[in-house]
């Protein structure tokens, strides 16, 4: 099998649990460290699937790798190579496929409930799961691109996930590990320094790390179910 290509845009935002999941199932993968200057491939045909991770930047920023990644996503979708996006990765997918990315009404940082609508497309991805608690860390949001369908929402961000055939974009971070959460909490003050008041959608590091192992175990189960569905489409 050709490897899954995982695109990392920030040193602190690697594949997390996804790497463990793929290793446990003997699915080969390779990490493209865009944050260290790795070139964006022009042709997705060398990979069985493409995964785009998060990052602190905006897809609307003038960065040299954004346009090539957008084109690579379009190319992969045209060729039927499955694409998976986490947070910034989902925003890249939305923009590549005709959606837009803009500021969310509030920053969403910490643990929060996700609701799954009772429709066939959502059930195809989430099974019988109608709600779960995911990790969030974002200030922007995407629109659902043409032809795709919203399959998850939260109180503070209506577009939490969309599906387009074998392609899945998620605003939330289902890939989290305890180590990633603890690491991100170190940057908490940078994220909230510009907030005029403490928003209900933003948890403190103490709140985010409370019962952390239990939260992670539950989230890993949801992520595994989603990844099970996604790898069915690997070419």
Answer whether residue 196 shows pLDDT above 90: no
**Of 137, 131, 93, residue with least CA distance to 111:** 137
| Selected catalytic residue, list 13, 108, 140, 175 | 175
| Selected catalytic residue, list 136, 173, 185, 215 | 173
Residue 168 token pair: 């899945």
Catalytic-residue membership of 155: no
pTM of this prediction exceeds 0.75: yes
Catalytic-residue membership of 69: no
Q: What is the pLDDT of residue 94?
A: 98
| Selected catalytic residue, list 9, 87, 108, 138 | 87
Q: How far is CA 133 from CA 11, 71, 110, 152, in A?
A: 25, 33, 10, 12
Contacts of residue 189, defined as CB under 8 A and 6 or more positions apart, other chains included, come to none
Q: Which domains are seen in the chain, by residue range?
A: 4-231 (3.40.50.880)
Catalytic-residue membership of 129: no
Radius of gyration of the chain (CA): 16
Q: What is the per-residue pLDDT across 127-176, written as a single tens digit (0 to 9) for each? A: 999 999 999 999 999 999 999 999 999 999 999 999 999 999 999 999 99
Q: What is the per-residue pLDDT across 8-20, written as a single tens digit (0 to 9) for each? A: 999 999 999 999 9
């Amino acid at each position: 099998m050709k490897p899954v290509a995982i695109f990392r845009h920030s040193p602190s935002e690697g594949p997390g649990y996804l790497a463990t999941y793929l290793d446990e199932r003997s699915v080969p993968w390779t990490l493209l460290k865009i944050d260290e200057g790795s070139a964006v491939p022009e042709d997705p045909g060398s990979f069985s699937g493409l995964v785009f991770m998060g990052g602190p930047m905006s897809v609307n920023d003038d960065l040299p790798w954004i346009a090539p990644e957008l084109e690579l996503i379009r190319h992969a979708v045209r060729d039927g190579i499955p694409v998976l996006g986490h947070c910034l990765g989902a925003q890249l997918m939305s923009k590549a496929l005709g959606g837009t990315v803009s500021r969310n009404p509030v920053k969403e940082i910490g643990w929060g409930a996700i609701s799954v609508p009772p429709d066939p497309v959502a059930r195809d991805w989430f099974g019988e799961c109608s709600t779960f608690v995911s990790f969030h860390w974002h200030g922007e949001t995407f629109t659902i691109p043409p032809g795709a369908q919203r399959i998850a929402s939260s109180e503070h961000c209506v577009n939490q996930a969309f599906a387009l055939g074998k392609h899945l974009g998620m605003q939330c971070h289902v890939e989290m590990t305890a180590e990633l959460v603890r690491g991100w909490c170190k940057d908490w003050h940078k994220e909230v320094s510009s907030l005029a008041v403490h928003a209900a959608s933003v948890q403190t590091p103490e709140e985010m790390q409370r019962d952390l192992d239990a939260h992670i175990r539950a989230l890993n189960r949801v992520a595994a179910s989603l990844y099970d569905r996604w790898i069915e489409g690997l070419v």
